[in-house]
Amino acid sequence: MEDLEDRALTQATHKPLCLFRYVDTFVIWPHETEKLERFFDNLNGLRGNIQFTVQMEKDGHLPFLDIELYRIPIAP
């Protein structure tokens, strides 16, 4: 799995701000949604038997590994 992620990151024009892998993979993506879709299309094209899915934040929260993650905006 690490090799697959390394290859995807090496090939990517736009990269995630960070990427964490445990049971699932968690990515903080600072670019536009269409660039995220291209990144995951490339990632899914590397190995036919491994496919990733994307679940995006909605209304400031994201379910991940049986917990709810909440994003708190930081004031400038």
pTM, to two decimals: 0.59
- pLDDT for 49 equals 86
Beta carbons within 8 Å of 53's beta carbon, 6+ residues apart: none
Interior angle at CA 18, CA 49 and CA 60, nearest 5: 95
Neighbours of 18 (CB within 10 A): 10
- pLDDT for 56 equals 86
- pLDDT for 60 equals 87
Which residue numbers in the chain have pLDDT < 70?
A: 22
